Amino acid sequence: MKPRLHRRRAAFRTALCYALITLAAVAVFFPIYYALATSFFTASESVSYPPKFFPSRFTFDSYREALRRAPVVRFIVNSFIVSAAVMFGQLITASMAAYSFSFLEYKGRQALFYVVLSTMMVPWEVTIISNYLTVKALSWTDTYWGLSVPFMASAFGIFLLRQGFLTIPRELKDAAAIDGCGNFRFFTTIAIPLSRPMLGTLAVYTFLTTYNQYLWPLLVTNTDKMRTVQIGLSMLQRDESVAWNSTMAGIIMVLVPTAILLLLAHKQLVRGLTSGAVKG
């Protein structure tokens, strides 16, 4: 009797778990589905009440209208260039700093690392005015330099990669040093290859974060030629305050590249966040 009752309880818990997962999946994916469906609505269908959830016919007029009203492709290219520059910049600076905090011995290393970590507690908005004045003084407004250089170093990236480097046995470093392997060679041929999950995680996280920036690109760009995708979406929303189909078409076009990147890299992202990041 007891084993049967136990099996029933286990089956009930499993069914309840699957039901909660299904509800969570619906809650997450419904906004994406509704944006995709709205992008195929006509202008009148997108503002109808009660709202429709299925288009009466599939039309790409809203995509053509979005491309006519704003240079969406140009915005996507700008965002890709800036995001790639920030991503490679952070990979280089964070990996070198993390290697220093992990393997090099010098006075005040631990204190300096804590100072770097403390900058994570400072909201980025606090420094936005000083960063803008610096960029303006360098005449970098409305340029790729102004959009990317202020974000090429990150305390989070240093912390993440340091945790990855700490998983490399110290004995391996000592053995390499005995064989004549210097710091630069050990860094490029051993430490970096062994930390690929962390590097992949930082690359994906940095790219997506930069791709979704709004305030800084709005502040340092003055022309449509240098605008990024988030600014472009706000332009579509302003122009299409009545009909939402063109706005949703722009959102879908902007969403597709990052969704593809996330699908391709999600295993690397999860692996990096759950491996060396838990070692102190």
pLDDT in tens, 139-191: 998 899 999 999 999 899 999 899 889 888 888 888 888 888 888 899 999 88
Between the alpha carbon of residue 196 and those of residues 145, 183, 202, the distances in Å are 27, 18, 10
The rounded distance, in Å, linking the Cα atoms of 73 and 242 is 23
Could you read off the pLDDT of 11-33 as tens digits, one per residue? 889 999 999 999 999 998 898 89
Query: How far apart are alpha carbons 192 and 177 in whole angstroms?
Result: 16
| CB count in 10 Å sphere of residue 179 | 8
Q: Of 34-38, 207-211, 258-262, which range is least confident? A: 258-262
Q: What is the DSSP string of 154-175?
A: -HHHHHHHHHHHHTS-HHHHHH
Cβ atoms of residues 153 and 89 within 8 Å? yes
CA distances from 279 to 16, 181, 203 (A): 34, 26, 20
Task: Classify burial at 234, counting beta carbons within 10 Å of its beta carbon; exposed 0-12, middle 13-18, buried 19 or more.
Answer: middle
- Residue 60: closest CA among 239, 209, 187, 245: 245
Query: Is 257:183 a contact under the CB 8 Å cutoff?
Result: no
Q: Is the pLDDT of residue 127 over 60?
A: yes
Quick check: 113 pLDDT over 60? yes
In 10 A of CB 137, how many CB atoms? 9
Percent of the chain with pLDDT over 90: 27
Q: Is the pLDDT of residue 245 over 70?
A: yes
Does residue 257 have a pLDDT over 60?
yes
33 CA to centre of own chain: 21
Q: What is the predicted pLDDT for the residue at 86? A: 95
* DSSP conformation class of 108: T
Q: For position 239, what pLDDT does the model report?
A: 55
Lookup result for tokens 């979005």: 66
Tens digit of each residue's pLDDT (9 = 90 or more) over 60-97: 888 888 888 788 888 889 999 999 999 999 999 999 99
Give the type of residue at 243. A
Task: Return d(Cα 28, Cα 260) in angstroms, integer.
Answer: 17
Average pLDDT over residues 200-212: 89
Contact between 197 and 269 under an 8 Å Cβ cutoff? The reply is no
- Mean pLDDT on 258-272: 77
| The pLDDT of residue 133 is above 90 | yes
**pLDDT over 80 at 248, yes or no:** yes
Six token digits for residue 181: 């392997």
Residue 47 Cα distances to 193, 196, 251, angstroms: 53, 48, 17
Q: Which of 98-102, 185-189, 250-254 has the lowest mean pLDDT?
A: 250-254
Percentage of the chain with pLDDT > 70? Answer: 94
| pLDDT given at position 146 | 92
DSSP3 helix / strand / coil % (the chain, rounded to 5): 80, 0, 20
What gap in Å lies between CA 25 and CA 68, rounded to an integer?
35
User: Quick one: pLDDT at residue 280?
Assistant: 43
